Chain A
Amino acid sequence: MSLKADEVLAIARLARLSVADAEVGEHAAKLGSILEMIDQLQAADTAGIEPMAHPLSQGQRLRDDVATETDRRDDYQRNAPAVHDGLYLVPRVIE
C-alpha cells in the first residue's frame, strides 16, 4: 500500500510536524513500507481471536479515592516559559 502526498501532509499536520515539499516523497515511501508490514499482518487469520488491548494479562490496579497531592505549583511552573497569576501562558487560542 502506498501513500499519496496529500495523505502524508495530512498525517504531518495532525502530528503538528512541518514537512518540506521535497521530503514528502521520502516519507511516503517509508510510511508505505510500514503499511506493507501491516498488510502482511492483516493476512493472518484472526477469526475467533479476541483483540488484545495490552500485552500483559493482568487487570488495572485501582487506587482509593483520596486526595494525596499537595500544591507544588511554584516548582512545576519553573519549567514554563511564561506564567501570569498562576496561569500558564500560551499564544492566544481562538475558538
Chain B
Amino acid sequence: MMKTTKRISRLLSISLLAASTLLTACSKSGGKSGALSGAARDSTLVIGMLGDADYLNPVIGASLTSSEITGLIYPGLLQGEFDTKTGLLNYLALEKRLRPSSGNPDEKSPKAALAKTWTMSPDNRSITYILRDDAKWADGQPITSRDFKFAYKLYGNPVIASPRQQFLAELVGADKGQVDFDRAIETPDDTTLIFHFYKPVPEHLALFHTSLTPLPEHLWKNVKPEEFRESKLNQQPVGAGPYRLADWSKQQSLTLSSSVSCNLPKPGNIKRIIYRVIPDYTVRLAQLQTGDVDVVENIKPEDFAAVQKANPNVDIKTIGLRVYDYVGWQNIDGDYYNQTGKIRPNPLFGDPVVRRALTMAIDRQSIIDGYLGEYGVLAKTDISPSLKWAYDDSIKPYGYDPAQAVKLLEAAGWMPGPDGIRQKNGRKFSFVLYTNAGNARRNYACTIIQQNLREIGIDCKIEMQESNVFFQNLQERKLGAWMAGWSIGLEIDPLDVWGSDLKKSRFNFPGFINPRIGQLCELAKNKMRTEDARPYWIEYQKILHEQQPITFLYWIRETQGFSKRIQGAKLNISGTFYNIDDWTLKPSIAP
C-alpha cells in the first residue's frame, strides 16, 4: 500500500510539473505570430493544401497537387498556353507556335520548352521534334531524346499503371493493343525525337499527346517496373525545372527551393515555396487570415466577407469556368438495364418533355444568387462559356417558369393526385435526390430544388451518401436522381460522358441515348483544325439543350484566396499556379 501511494504521489507531482511547464511555455511564447521573420518570410511563399502530394513522378503522380509540383520540378517538351480570348489551347516550342499570338493577356514565354521546333508529316502520321542541346538535368547530365523514349515506355507499361497511358492511344501498335515502341518512337540522335501514329492525327492532338514529361534515363534505367512505385527515387526527384525538392515531411509540408542551375527558362523567382498540408477547411481559412499561409484554394463565397474583414491583405482571385453542378435524371430504367442489358425509358425521367419541365421548375438563378453570387453562371450545356471558340451564345436558357412546367407535365400525363402529388397510371411522381455528403453548396441547392419541385406537385426526398458509396452507386446506375458535378477537360471530348454505348461510355450515368452525339464527336475529332469543329459542337449543344438529359445548374468560378504580397500572379482556367515561377513577393516593410 505504502509503495503504491508513493507511486501515485510521484505520478501526481510529475504531472503537475508537466502541467506547469506547459502553462509557462504558453505564456512565454503566446502572442508571437508567424515564426519566419523578415528576410526569410520575404523569400518564402506558403501554400495551404487539403492533402499531400502522392508521387513526385510525372509517370505515376495522380493527384492535382502532385502534377502541379511535378510541373515545377520537371521540364516539359513544349510549353502549353490557354488563350483566354478564344478558349483554345496553344503549344509553343522555342522557335515555333501552333497558333499565332492573338494578344492573349496570359501569354507564356516559350523559353521553358525543351523542343526548338517540330514538323508534322504531310500525312499527319508522324511528328518530328528538334530538341535544344543545352538542357541539363539537375545533376548535370544532358537531356536527350532517349530520355523521352525511355519515359514513354514507362507510361505505356501496364505493370506501372500510369494514369496517363491514354496519351499513347494513337502511337503505332496501340490499335492492336500494345504500342510497338521501337517503331512508334525513333531517336536517330540526341536532339531528334520522332513519334509515329497508326492513323492521321490532328496536329494539336499530336502535340498534346506527345508532350508528356520525360524522366532521366540514367537514374531510372535500373528500376524494375514492379518496383517503380516503391522506388526511393520518387522521394528524391531529379528534374530540370525552375524548382527542386528541398524537403518533404509526409503529410505535413513539402518545400521546394529555386533551382539555381535551371536554364528552362530560369530559376524560380521566389526562393522557397512551402506546401503545407492542412486538411480542415476552417483551419486553412484561419491560417490565411493570420497570414501564416499565402494561398488557399477554393474558398467558399460565404466566407469572403469575414476573411477580408479579418485580414484586408487577402485578395480573392477567380478562375473558371471549368466546373459545373447538375441534377442527373436517370433517362433509362436502371434496374431493368442492370438485369437484362436492355434499354427502356425511365418511368419518371424517360421523357425529354418531363425533363424540360423539371429544368423549368427549378429556380436555378436563385440558387446562384443565394450561394454563389457573382461567382456562379447559369449553365446551358457542358460546353463552358470559357471555350469561346465552341460555345453557342445563341441558346436561350430555360427560365424559371413553374406554370409552363406544370403545363408540360400535364401534357405528358402527370396529373395532380388526391394528396397533391402528381401521378400517372397509378405511379406517383416521387423520388429520392442523392448527393455526396459534406458539400455545403450542393446541400443548399438540393434544399431549394426540393422546395421548387414540391410547389408543382413533385415529391423529392434528399439523401446524402458518403462520396465513395455515392460514386459506386452512380456507376452501377442505382440512383434515379442525383446532384453531382463535373470538371471539364480543356480539349472537348464528351464521348465518355454522352456516348450511347453505355458499356464504353462509362460516365454516361444518366443513360442518355442519342447516336447523333457519338457521330458529332467522331466528326469533330477528324477535323485537322480544332476551330473547324465548331459547327458540330453547336449542333451538340442544341441536342443537349433540347433533350435535357440532365438539368445543368451553374458554372462555378473557383475562388482562391491570395495574400496581397504576391505579385504577378496570372490565374486562368488551366490552373491557379499557371505561372508561379514568375511570381514575386512584395517585401514587408522593414521594422
A and B are partners in one complex rather than unrelated chains: no
